[in-house]
Structure 1
Amino acid sequence: MTLQISRLIKPCLAALLATMFFFTAGAQTDSCPIRISVITCAPGEELYALFGHTALRITDSTKGEDIVYNYGTFDFGDPDFYAKFVRGKLDYFLNPEYYHDFIRFYQEEQRGITEQELKLTCAEKQAVIQALHVNLQGANKYYKYDFLFDNCTSRVRDLLQKHIPGLTMQTRLTAPGTTFRHMIHTYLDNGGQPWSKLGIDILLGSRMDRAVTVQESMFLPDFLMKGVDSATRQGASVVSARKQLFTATPVSHKQNKWVPLLVFSIFAFLILLLSRWKSKTGKTLTRIADSVLLYLTGLAGFLLLFMWFCTDHVACANNYNLLWMLPTNLVAGFFLWKRPNWLKKYFLYAGFLQIAILFAWLFLPQQLNISLVPVVLLLAYRYYQLSAN
């Protein structure tokens, strides 16, 4: 009898223990004192803040901790700050700060803040925290910032994808054919930054003009936020809750994005009028204007070469603006007043090159800024005049 009762009890006890373990494990997951959230801050007024910001928030209720881990920190007090920044060698680093200090800064700047709490197990949360702690150790905390491929947002994206098993973020976030330049232009236009847009279009080369993948599109905070919203694991959403921590009214920017085109058109027209002034004074002033034009484009061309070959900014490579910002113009400007025989041939070939650029404008592997058309037209005209006289 005792043996029979034992045989009946053991299976029931095993089932009870398994059930208790299942609910206990579930309770541990649900009652885990740690919360991990993705924080997305809206764009700001200044150029450095125009694209928004991403960070990770980790709250531990048992320890009373509420820490934000921010990969977008750099040392502005570095004596070589500007040199390192220009050459792409400036160290950015992971910096933990108290949540209230972090959020106060963005509230003062009137920038909206969105939080997406992630649905993770305790083990996965611990894995994320451990990865952050490893990143904080010694040289691990530093990295070479790259605006497109290694920034404060892509670092959070990569960390989540590495430490959340089964995470899928494959939903297309942009229209087919969207390039890095298209995405950046949207923020520059919305932020009323036409001159910054022109400068970026001049400095950044053709690598900006290939279509982005789903993964690459999440280099911008708003798009990582969309990616996290659409992220799934085994068919279930990874986001357990989404809330607006701070709401701010976006500032309306009325600056016309066509201002540079208008300014350059007026400039080109004035130089054209000056070149038609046939008096001795007019010819002298025209020669001075030509010299300035040659020196400026030549120096700009050398700057583009420097950014391409002498810095770590990969986005500055393969820059087709060098077809009109000819570095050799610096030499031509030096010899303009002496007029050696070879100079006429130089201007003739340079003029043909400008005409070829204008015909190929829409077909180049790089999207050139439309505001530059009057400048290229002016160069073509002045090269022709200089080759004929």
Structure 2
Amino acid sequence: MGKKLLSFLFLLVFFQGFSQSVQLSENAKVSIITIGTAAPSYALYGHTGIRFKDNANHLDVVFNYGAFDFDTPNFMLRFVKGDLQYFVTSNTYAEFEYSYRYENRSIYEQVLDLPIDKIRTLYTEINNSLTSDERFYTYKFIDKNCTTMVIDKVNEALGDNVIDFQKPQEKTYRSVLFPYANEHFLQQLGINIIFGTKVDQEASKLFLPLDLMQELKTITYNEKPLVKETTTIFEAQQEKAPFNFFDSIYLVIVVLGIIVLLNNRKVTSIYFILLGLLGLFFTFIGLYSFHEEVLWNYNVLLFNPFYLVFLYFHNRNNVIKAKRVKWLILLMLVIYVFVVFNKVYFISVLPIIIANFIFLVRITWNKN
């Protein structure tokens, strides 16, 4: 209780320090800060913040959309469900820059060429939200994140969709996201098998930090470029990661190859159980979660809950029903191949597809 009270008092002082009413001077500046990518999953796609600097008021603060409270009741369930409340926070720019330099992540700044009245409106709107319910929002991976929230706030202050969300592209969201995890095969595979049909839509929405940074360079406001100045504050020096067998497709190929060559009934049963449980998980998430990205997940055709049904009949020596379920699974697997053949991650799941075909078409299993 004492720690919670201390934390509350700290937050109260913190927010008061950054949410005080300040009349920005005529020389105040506002800029969009873009943070580069990094290996951890939370840093995989970069970050967007918005900075206000006013030397006359000794003000230099960055607002960030994307914080959440780990102490939220039922945190994991709410995170999975998609109704976890994220909120805006503020830091001094010095703290902000130091933290990302420490993580060795690039920092880019784009100063916006806006009249002072618009800068004041934008600052007041965001600053006041720190101490009101407006600081909270329901996070959505594509539709509402740290980047889209900054776009929203800038457009609201300018009274128009100066930064347009809709950008026609030939690529799908999945294709746009795929290269970000090129150095991390297992993470890339996990992301693609948990996503459903939404990410296969054309990527018409501006939602990634680095894409916003590039887009800002082309936007005009009041017949002038919106970005007055672009600066690289810190360029991260990232060496190419050495090849890691345990984070590559070769690991999957070797593991599946061993299971195939063993041709052991118990080992194959365990493999089918894992496939079936993953299928149940994807099905549950699709029914339970508000995240549109995980709905209608056709990867259930590969990680199929019917493997559990097949094992049930097979272990009870119900040959006829086991055979029927096996052919149903095979049919679903064929359908899956046609669905994912033109997807960017087809090669990633190809070893699993081949292994599953081999297991299913075998007429008998070893009896040991």
Q: Report the TM-score range of the alignment, normalised by the length of the smaller protein.
A: 0.7 to 0.9
Contact persistence 1:89–1:312 (CA under 8 A): yes
Worse-superposed segment, 56-65 or 350-359: 350-359
**Partners in 2 of 1:167 and 1:355 — Cα distance?**
45
Which residue of 2 is the match for residue 328 of structure 1?
306
What SS does the aligned partner of 2:105 have?
coil
Distance in 2 between residues matched to 1:272 and 1:143, nearest whole Å: 48
Query: Measured at CA, do residues 358 and 167 of structure 1 come closer, stay the same or move farther in structure 2, by a change above 3 Å?
Result: closer
Q: Which residue of 2 aligns with 1:56?
A: 50
- Unaligned stretches of 5+ residues in structure 1: 1-30, 276-285
Amino acid at match of 1:154: T
Question: Pick from 337, 351, 358: which aligns with 2:315?
Answer: 337
Q: Distance in 2 between matches of 1:227 and 1:333?
A: 53
- How many aligned residue pairs are there? 341
2:158 alignment partner in structure 1? 164
- Corresponding position of 1:12: none
* Offset, 1:44: 2.1
Q: Which residue of 1 aligns with 2:229?
A: 241
CA-to-partner distance for each residue in 1:75-119, whole Å, 9 max, x for gaps? Answer: 234453333222223221101111111111011112121111111
Q: In structure 2, give the amino acid aligned to 1:226.
A: Q
Is the alpha carbon distance of 1:358 and 1:112 closer, same or farther for their aligned partners in structure 2, counting shifts above 3 Å? closer
Aligned mates of 1:287, 1:243 — CA distance in 2: 61
Change in CA separation of 1:122 and 1:259 when aligned onto 2, cut-off 3 Å? closer
> 1:2-32 CA distances to partner (integer Å, 9 max, x unpaired)?
xxxxxxxxxxxxxxxxxxxxxxxxxxxxx71
The answer for the alignment partner of 2:3 in structure 1 is: none
2:200 pairs with 1:221: no
Corresponding residue for residue 355 of structure 2: 378
Task: Give distance in 2, aligned partners of 1:310 and 1:65.
Answer: 44
Q: Distance in 2 between matches of 1:73 and 1:188?
A: 23
| Alpha-carbon distance in structure 2 between the residues aligned to 1:56 and 1:259 | 35
CA distance 1:348–1:226, shift in 2 (3 Å)? same
**More displaced, 218-227 or 71-80?**
71-80
SS in 2 for 1:89: coil
Question: Partner residue of 1:193?
Answer: 184
2:147 counterpart (133, 142, 153):
153
Counterpart Cα distance in 1 of 2:142 and 2:134:
21
Q: Unmatched 5+ residue regions in structure 2? A: 1-24
1:69 and 1:369 map into 2 onto residues whose CA distance is 39
Query: Contact 1:36 / 1:118 at 8 angstroms: preserved in 2?
Result: yes
State the alpha-carbon separation in 1 of the partners of residues 171 and 56 from structure 2. 45
Tell me which amino acid in the other structure corresponds to 1:188: A
Correspondence 1:1-389 to 2 at 5 A: 32-78=26-72, 80-165=74-159, 168-169=162-163, 176-189=169-182, 192-213=183-204, 216=205, 218-255=206-243, 260-275=248-263, 286-340=264-318, 341-362=320-341, 368-385=345-362
Q: CA deviation at 1:139?
A: 1.9
Secondary structure at the aligned position of 2:266 is classed as: helix
Change (3 A) 1:388 1:108: closer
TM-score (norm 1): 0.80
User: Equivalent residue of 1:325, what SS?
Assistant: coil
- Which has the larger Rg? 1
Deviation at 1:380, TM superposition (A): 2.2
Q: Decide whether aligned partners of structure 1 residues 145 and 330 sit closer, same or farther in structure 2, where only a CA change above 3 A counts.
A: same
1:166 and 1:233 in contact (8 A); partners too: no
Does the 8 Å CA contact 2:87/2:136 hold for their aligned counterparts?
yes
Gap change, CA 1:156 and 1:322, over 3 Å in 2:
same
Deviant stretches of 4+, over 6 Å: 171-174
Contact conserved, 1:146 with 1:313, CA < 8 A, in 2? yes
For 1:150 and 1:251, how far apart are their aligned partners in 2?
32
Structure 1 contact 194–257 (Cα < 8 Å) conserved: no
What is the DSSP-based 3-state SS (H/G/I as helix, E as strand, rest coil) of the residue aligned with 2:199? Answer: helix
Cα contact 2:184–2:248 (8 A) shared by 1: no
Q: Shift of residue 311 of structure 1?
A: 1.2
2: distance between equivalents of 1:74 and 1:310? Answer: 21
Identity of aligned residues (%): 27
* Contact 2:105 2:236 (8 Å CA) reproduced: yes
Determine if contact 2:184/2:247 at 8 Å carries over to the other structure.
Answer: no
String of CA shifts for 1:204-246, please: whole Å, max 9, x gaps: 1111111112xx1x31111111111211024310112222222
Q: Please name the residue that 1:17 is paired with.
A: none
Compared CA separation, residues 212 and 258, structure 1 to 2 (3 A) = farther
Moved more, 105-114 or 333-342: 333-342
Distance 1:266 1:343 in 2: 28
User: Deviations 1:315-343 (Å, cap 9, x if unpaired)?
Assistant: 00111101121112223223332121311
